[in-house]
Structure 1
Amino acid sequence: MQLTAPATSDTGKRDTDGMAVASFVLGLLGLLVLNVFLGPVAITLATIALWRGTTRPGRAYLGLGLGVADLLVLVAFMQADNTVSWSL
């Protein structure tokens, strides 16, 4: 008796590719608005996409970097204003 791997669909890969692109877009958007929320979301989506084996790892790494940058921008503005939130 030979065991074979179950058939996989392209749906899983498309979902992870979508997560990679979403992390990039949300990380980029988070540099401008809502970085306290969008930064961690971008980091989470990028990590999940990389963990699941996306075919777009570059976008996932960019989303991860931008998510971290979102949080660094938030910390910089918090230090400058001595507040938890900031505005332009």
Structure 2
Amino acid sequence: MTALRPSVRDHHPARPSTTSEQPTPPAPESHPGPPASDRPAPGRRDADAMAVASFVCGLVGLLVMNLVLGPVAIVLAGLALLRGTTRPGRARLGLVLGIADLAVLAFLVSADHTWSWSIG
């Protein structure tokens, strides 16, 4: 009885394979959009989203809920700038608007002597 062990001669790396194995083509990308090299890294996208959210919170905070939205805008802007956003101008504007929210709140509190305010 002979051993079922393959011989070294059959699997020599310098010798081309006698079987007709074709390499499989790469699978198409499952997601549309630009190539992976053109897309920002996930952390960078989060920083960009924080910059935009900071701007929106600061802008809306000038009209309503400035006690809450002002500090949120300041924190989001700071995080976006620390994480290296591609929109530093928007983050800085969100920071300024967040500070303005708190300044408007301080002015209205000193004028009305109350934490709530209304127009009219």
**Aligned residue pair count:** 80
Deviation at 1:68, TM superposition (A): 0.1
Residue 109 of structure 2, aligned match among 73, 78, 86 = 78
Residue 26 of structure 1, aligned match among 57, 68, 88 = 57
Partner of 1:55: 86
Does 2:46 correspond to 1:46? no
Cα distance in 2 for partners of 1:43, 1:24 equals: 9
User: Which contiguous aligned blocks of 4+ residues in structure 1 show a shift greater than 4 angstroms?
Assistant: none
Deviation at 1:10, TM superposition (A): 1.2
TM superposition score normalised by structure 2:
0.65
Sequence identity (%): 66
Deviation at 1:16, TM superposition (A): 0.2
SS of the residue corresponding to residue 76 of structure 2 reads: helix
SS of the residue corresponding to residue 117 of structure 2 reads: coil
Gap regions ≥5 residues in structure 2: 1-39
Letter in 2 for 1:20: A
The C-alpha deviation readout for 1:27-70, integer Å capped at 9, x for no partner, is 00000000000000000000000011111000000000000000
Q: Alignment RMSD, CA only?
A: 0.9
Gap regions ≥5 residues in structure 1: 1-8
SS of the residue corresponding to residue 40 of structure 1 reads: helix
SS of the residue corresponding to residue 71 of structure 2 reads: helix
Deviation at 1:19, TM superposition (A): 0.1
Higher Cα radius of gyration = 2
Choose between structure 1 and 2: higher helix proportion. 1
Partner of 1:4: none
